[in-house]
Homo-oligomer: A and B are copies of this chain.
């Protein structure tokens, strides 16, 4: 496994504590090592991370990779000075982005761009990523932290790159979605990693709320806690559904742009989806709170936020019962929220 590296551009004379990086990294060694799958090779050479394709298991292996960031949720983490949850966010977001194609996530790499390495921020971010990787049997194979005082101020950026494997014949592509297919929504845990610019503007700027405030509608949680709620990972439900041979004909990860932008990404030509908002399981209360605070048009809410739906599965009608059962069995709230019709590749939401 590649050691995580810290690259400082802060020249020594500027008084940077060069030992800090080494000290922090050695404290993280154990939690990073705990993510090691048997296919991850021991660190050799130390430039790249190495991972064996297990040919006893994969007959026609297709690699599936995705790179992404956490966005300005990081600014909330910074304001709260709490950085473990964004580690979960980036890992889970990346996993979801390849799990929708049926890929088993196998390893993850991270990049942190930061002004000055600081503790406990660094341990919290890497520790959070290691925890999230461990939870999904993903190896945290390597990473790079670039200390660039001239470029980043107090902010930092966090980027993840996930690699997974899927058998070629099991790729989930969406091309089998037909009129009559049912859309199952899996509940999101909160905003996940999208819509934070609008959320910050409405809640912090316009309404002038503090992250410590505990509005009644948030049912006892502080605004900051609700905003930092980690992105949910849906891979366990997808894996189980694939094992149960449920006809998962298409899956959309609902990120920026909500149902409107993400569902069309998996629809073949000639079909459209009609969602019934009334059928969506109860969304986390943060969405309604934002909508009320900002007097946001409901359609606009659906254009910016996931509105309680973190993922949409498309299955033939006869597989709906089994699919819902798998979701519930794995601890995911799920409901039938829409249906596929003949039409052009877009999305209608009936409010």
Contact = CB atoms under 8 A, between A and B. Distances in A.
B146 A9 contact: no
Interface stretch (A40-48, A119-127, A210-218, A278-286): A40-48
A48 B98 contact: yes
A65 B265 contact: no
Contacts of A255: 7
A109 to B, nearest CB: 4
A331 to B, nearest CB: 23
Count of identical protomers in the assembly? 2
A142 B67 contact: yes
A161 B155 CA distance: 22
A195 to B, nearest CB: 8
A151 interface: yes
Nearest to A41: B62
Q: Chain A at the B interface: mostly helix, strand, loop or mixed?
A: mixed
Nearest to A67: B109
A102 B173 CA distance: 33
B113 A10 contact: no
Contacts of A55: 55, 60-61
A158 to B, nearest CB: 10
A51 B66 contact: no
24 contacts: A9-B72, A10-B197, A11-B197, A41-B62, A41-B171, A44-B175, A46-B266, A47-B66, A47-B100, A47-B101, A48-B98, A48-B103, A48-B164, A51-B64, A51-B65, A52-B60, A53-B53, A55-B60, A63-B163, A65-B161, A69-B113, A71-B146, A75-B151, A149-B197
Interface of A: 2, 7-11, 41, 44-53, 55, 58, 60-69, 71-72, 74-75, 97-98, 100-101, 103, 107, 109-111, 113, 141-144, 146, 148-151, 155, 157, 159, 161-164, 168, 171-175, 196-198, 200-201, 250-251, 253, 255-256, 265-266, 304
